[in-house]
Structure 1
């Protein structure tokens, strides 16, 4: 029998801390803190809703992060 896979871990990081930052700086900082995937999206973008451990999403308007969430 195959072993049960271990789900990826997420950094102990609060997404709210990225709100207001320049989008490029926020992405760089998120990667430094261990997020494996960082996704920048325009406001109102249509996205899939599946949860991906290790992914951080940014909603970006005028070059600034206006919202950030895991998954």
Structure 2
């Protein structure tokens, strides 16, 4: 039987720390901290809900991060 896969480790980083930052700066910072995918979305965007390890999502309003979450 094949072993159960182990998901990749995520950065030990609090997404709430990105709220209020300029979107471009937040993305650069997130990548430096080890996030492999950073997704910027407009408020109310329709998105898929599958969880992806290593992905950080930003809701961006007026070029500022208004919400941030993993996956």
Deviation above 4 Å: which 4+ runs of structure 1?
Answer: none
RMSD: 0.9
Query: Is 2:55 the counterpart of 1:45?
Result: no
* Unpaired segments ≥5 residues, structure 2: none
In 2, Cα distance between equivalents of 1:6 and 1:36: 17
In 2, Cα distance between equivalents of 1:2 and 1:50: 24
* Unpaired segments ≥5 residues, structure 1: none
TM-score by length of 2: 0.94
Shift of residue 2, structure 1, vs aligned partner: 4.1
1:60 match? 60
- The within-5 A match list for 1:28-39 is 28-39=28-39
Aligned residue pairs total: 71
